[in-house]
Every structure is written in C-alpha cells, then in structure tokens.
Structure 1
Amino acid sequence: MELYRGSSTNQMDYNDDGRGPKSGKMLASNDERLDNSGLDSLKEEECTDVVVSDFGRMSMAERQDEPWRKVLTEDGDTYLHLAIIHEAKEAALKMIHLSCGDPFLNIQNNQRQTALHLAVITEQPLLVEQLLKAGCDASLVDDCGNTALHISCRKGSLACFGLLTQGCPQQLPAILQTPNYNGQKCIHVVAIQGYLSLLESLIQFGAHINAQEQCNGRTALHLAVDLQNFELVKLLITKGADVHSFTYGGHTPYHLTYGRANTDIQKVLYELTAPHLRELPDSESEDNDEDYEDQCISDDEDIYDDIKMMGQV
C-alpha cells in the first residue's frame, strides 16, 4: 500500500510531543528524528560490543539463567533496548525469543519507552512483529503519552502501522481512544501529518472520526481546515465527519476558514454548514492558532535524538 499524504499549504505545527532513547549518537533520517534518552556513560562502540559480543558469547544455559535481563543502564535501558537502538537485530531476536510472555519485554526505560516503542522509532518492522507475537504490551505509553501506534502514525510508517493495528486486535479499540499528553489521539496525529491512507485505515479500524483533541476540542476536520489540506477535508467529509462539530470555543470547521487562503475549502464547508452556524461566535479569540500552538508543542526539534540508524550517524 502506498502512503498518500494529502497536500497542505500554510501548515502549522501541530505535531505531538515525545522523547526517545539516548544512545550517544544522532539518528540520521529524512525526518531528522531525534531522541534524548541515551547512554551517556558508554560510547556507541562500547555499547555495541556489550550487546552483540557479550550476549553472543553467552551459552544457551547462561541465557536461560537470564543474567542479561537484570542489567539496566543509568538511563534504564535493558540489553534489548540497546540491541534495538543499535540495530543489533540478531541479538534482539534472540532475546525476544527467550522472553516470550516475560515481563522483561515490557520494561520501560527512563523515558518510559518499551522495546516496542524503540522498534517503531527505528523502523524495524521485523522486531515489531516479533515483539507483538512474544507478548509485548502495545498499550503502554512513553513519557509523553504516546503509544507505539501514535509514533507510527506520526512517522507514517506503513509496515509498523500495519503490524500494530493487526497484531493486537483486543487492545486496539482502547489504543485508538488513548490521547497522548498533548491530548491527541492517533486520528489527530495522522490528520496533522496529512496521511490520507492511514487516516482512512484508522476509521476502518474503529477510530472515532469526530473525536476531539483535548487542547481545545478540534476534530480531525478542524485540523484539516487549519492546515488548509483540501484533500483531507474532502476525505473526512466523504467518511462522515460532522461539519457542525464545535471546538471548546464554539467554532465549527467553517468558522476556521475565515481569513484563510483556500477558497475551495471555504466554499465546500459553506454549502454544508447550516446558515445559522456560519457566523463567527463572539468569543472569536478562544481558538486562535497561537494559543493552540503554545499548548501543543512540536516534537520535530527535540525528540528521538541520539539513535544510530542503518549504521549511519
């Protein structure tokens, strides 16, 4: 499935906040993903030696005795966390295989990240799949309230998104209703990023199309108007989004077209909005964009620093 990201202009910063593991290296990627939870006490080369060499030298009996499960770094990372961060895939798979159903898989580091969070951050779908099969809890949240699915929605990772939505069917309804600490559910994160195919999938999986984010009550349709994403507006309307939904300040999606450049969005919503709901309410400033940006800080500048990706720094 090809990821289709609807066009948007004048896009404002609505991204959910989150933080990741420090491992002493910068994650190199097109998104410039950052993570700030790492191994300050170890150089990257030393860390890799610990994960790959030391674990590799352990006999099967020693691995089953589980001494490696008890080791934590000063940042709360386990050997499994480190193996995932540094993409030591074979070592990570061995630990996962030896830990099926064990609480070890759900240990959270000082950033409250599980191995599953890190596998999604580093975009390693094979590890995501094996972690889910081994019993990793997909409903756990990091220190910014993000589940692994929140992270895959922000990154637009199709493979990880597919595994998370299909690999934990009993947990999925609750995960879809979980807001992060910026008040955003997965449907809001996807709408902000403009991933049309993922948004459509979320709706099919049961995400509430008219769910309100908790900062000021915007729905995905409100966000689409704010971001001037006409393709997203059309998709949401086609899927049954309520054009008469109100933010906490009493604004409909049409109200948010005032002063915006995209007249196509304004025309569509004008025709669908009841005449008595077209006029702006008196409290015109309650939903202004600056207030919203202050409450929902971008994560692009400070999350997921210091991860090594694909052997690059």
Structure 2
Amino acid sequence: MDRVSNHNQMDYNFDGVEPKHGKMLLDERLDSGLDSLKEDELVRDFDDITISPAEDFKHEYEPWRTAVTEDGDTLLHLAIIHESTEHAFHMIKLSRNHPFLNVQNHQRQTALHLAVITEQPQLVDRLLKAGADPLLADDSGNSALHIACKRGSLACFGVITQNCQRHLTAMLSFPNYSGHNCLHLASINGYISLVESLVRLGADINAQEQCSGRTALHLAVDLQNAALVRRLLELGADVNCLNYGGFAPYHLTYGRQNEEIRTQLFDKTAQELRALPESESDESDMEDLDLSEDELYDDIKFGK
C-alpha cells in the first residue's frame, strides 16, 4: 500500500503519551461504528461494486457515486477507511469539484474528515486540491482542521493549512459545538508544536472558548501543563485576561500543587488580580433571589 513517508508524524502531548496513530486512530473513529461497518454487506462486496482504476467514466451520474452503507458512508468513505488508496485516488480524480466529494455520512463526516482521522495526509491533499470543502463540520461541529488539532496530526495539519490559505482566518477562529476553536483543542490535548504553529499562522492566542470564557492559558493552567503555560507566556498570552467568571489564569492556581505554574504567573499578573475576586452577592441580596429547588420543599411535612 502506497503510504506517504510522514504517515506517523504526530504531535506528542505533554505527558509523553505515545502518538495516536495506526490502529488506535481507527478504533477511535468518533464512535462511527467502524467495526460493524467492516462487516457490512456493502463492504464484503467492495471489490465487486467499486470502480476499476482502468475504467473511464464520462457521465455525470454513476452508480458508484450513489451507493451508501446503512451508516451513510459512500464508496469513497469506505476506500479511505479501508486504506484502499488507489481506489480512493481514482474516485477523487473522477469527481473533481463534484458534490460527491463532500457527501456526509450519518455522523456528518466527509471523506476529508475520515482522511484526517485515519492519518492519510496524501489523501487529504488530493481531496483539497480536487475541491473538498474544508469548512464542513461533523455532528460535533468539528472541521477537518479541528480533528487534526485534537489528534495532534502535524502532517494533516500542515497539508490543510497549506491548501486553505483563503479560508485560514475563518478556520482558525471557528468554534465547534463545545465552543472550542483549534487553538483550544491543541491546548487541551497538550500539543505544544501545534499551539506554536497556530499562533504563527494568526490564531488569536487570547481567544476565549464559548462555554466559560477560558483562553488557552486558562486551559493550560486547568490541566497543570507547566510546559504549555511557559510557552504560551513566551508567545504573548495575556495573563490578565478574565474568563466569564472573572478569574485570571493565576486564580486557577489556588488549591493546586504545581508551584512552577504559580511562580510563572505571579510576577506577570497585575497586582490587583492576584487575590481571588470576592463574591458580588452579600446576605441581603439573597432575599431577592429565586428560591432554590431545595427551598421549594421546606414546607413539606412527613409522618404526621
């Protein structure tokens, strides 16, 4: 099987965990039912119904473009999953700028998503050059670039960013359905090389994730990743940026044991932000609040 030489080039997380590639990538296909798909009747008959590289299709409509599994996977999806590279290349070549390249399965994964998940950067390159849409999101709101950042795939990350200069600003800032952009995902997973690359390409280092307003620096402190905290500070992360709860990254060191992180942030944090913020509510304000669920049941009497 023709695989590119950098097939196994993956970023490492800060814990020194082995890179996610090979079998692990297939096993973690975002719960898309890969095992059952491999046993599907359409897959068993794959060699019979798929196209031959020698054939020359000249018509817009072809049966191989409409064949799908019960999971919504096309023959191109299957070729990528099963690493049938030549079949995939031929279908891509015959479908240049055709909607077939952007068909989404029942998890809204395109061929491009699957090529990143299975770590096949050469296929990622062919798909993008043939007109695959890099902005399409799966059912978790992840684009192909989100997935590359989440999995630490340096090779796929490089191919996508090199081929998508026109869309790069939008792709870097676009949040998934959890409110995380690519920089947040790379930070959460401790991929320092990807964090550096994202910032170099123009990602906003102080962008706040949409759930609680944490920046990459907040996330690094949350995860007690001292190396990432240090690198983010070197790259210019704002130590005085507050999340939606009014907490600076330094506040997140309270109650945690990593003195290295606490020391890194202390001198750089504004003096007025070093103490934990006080609650804005006092006891007199409590009268104006709605009753809590527990208080609703205070008058219930049992066992008369």
User: Which runs of 5 or more structure 1 residues have no equivalent in the other structure?
Assistant: 10-26, 285-313
Q: Contact (CA 8 Å) 1:225, 1:257: kept in 2 or not?
A: yes
Q: Contact (CA 8 Å) 2:13, 2:191: kept in 1 or not?
A: yes
Say what the alpha-carbon RMSD is for the aligned residues.
Answer: 2.5
* Matching residue of 1:77: 73
* Matching residue of 1:112: 108
Percent sequence identity is 56
Deviation at 1:50, TM superposition (A): 3.5
Higher relative contact order (CA 8 A, sep 6+): 1
Letter in 1 for 2:49: D
* Matching residue of 1:95: 91
Q: What is the count of residue pairs matched by the alignment?
A: 267
Select 1:178's aligned residue among 165, 174, 178. 174
Give per-residue Cα distances to partners, 1:135-180, cap 9 Å, x unaligned: 1000110000001011111111111011011111111110111111
* Matching residue of 1:12: none
Q: Contact (CA 8 Å) 1:5, 1:195: kept in 2 or not?
A: yes
> 1: CA distance between counterparts of 2:133 and 2:46?
23
Determine helix, strand or coil for the equivalent of 1:272: coil
> 1: CA distance between counterparts of 2:113 and 2:52?
27
Determine helix, strand or coil for the equivalent of 2:183: helix
In the alignment, does 2:197 pair up with 1:201?
yes
In the alignment, does 2:50 pair up with 1:55?
yes
> 2: CA distance between counterparts of 1:252 and 1:273?
8
Q: Contact (CA 8 Å) 1:52, 1:83: kept in 2 or not?
A: no
Select 1:190's aligned residue among 186, 193, 200. 186
Give per-residue Cα distances to partners, 1:241-268, cap 9 Å, x unaligned: 0000001000000000111111111112
Deviation at 1:73, TM superposition (A): 2.2
* Matching residue of 1:214: 210
> 1: CA distance between counterparts of 2:29 and 2:55?
36
Residues 57 and 265 from structure 1, CA distance in 2 versus in 1: closer, same or farther, beyond 3 angstroms? closer
Q: Contact (CA 8 Å) 1:48, 1:86: kept in 2 or not?
A: no
Select 1:143's aligned residue among 139, 148, 157. 139
Determine helix, strand or coil for the equivalent of 2:248: coil
> 2: CA distance between counterparts of 1:4 and 1:57?
36
Q: What TM-score, normalized to structure 2?
A: 0.81
Deviation at 1:48, TM superposition (A): 3.9
Determine helix, strand or coil for the equivalent of 2:31: coil
> 1: CA distance between counterparts of 2:121 and 2:255?
43
In the alignment, does 2:24 pair up with 1:29?
yes
Select 1:153's aligned residue among 149, 152, 155. 149
Q: Contact (CA 8 Å) 1:119, 1:128: kept in 2 or not?
A: yes
User: Which runs of 5 or more structure 2 residues have no equivalent in the other structure?
Assistant: 1-5, 17-21, 281-304
In the alignment, does 2:250 pair up with 1:254?
yes
* Matching residue of 2:271: 275
In the alignment, does 2:132 pair up with 1:125?
no
In the alignment, does 2:14 pair up with 1:7?
yes
Letter in 2 for 1:141: A
Letter in 2 for 1:127: L
Residues 119 and 283 from structure 1, CA distance in 2 versus in 1: closer, same or farther, beyond 3 angstroms? farther
* Matching residue of 2:295: none
Letter in 2 for 1:60: E
Letter in 2 for 1:35: L
Residues 205 and 140 from structure 1, CA distance in 2 versus in 1: closer, same or farther, beyond 3 angstroms? same
> 2: CA distance between counterparts of 1:158 and 1:165?
11
* Matching residue of 1:307: none
> 1: CA distance between counterparts of 2:163 and 2:279?
45
Q: What TM-score, normalized to structure 1?
A: 0.78
Give per-residue Cα distances to partners, 1:10-69, cap 9 Å, x unaligned: xxxxxxxxxxxxxxxxx8327952433347986537444543332245872457452211
Give per-residue Cα distances to partners, 1:79-116, cap 9 Å, x unaligned: 11111111111111110000011111011111111100
* Matching residue of 1:297: none
Deviation at 1:280, TM superposition (A): 0.5
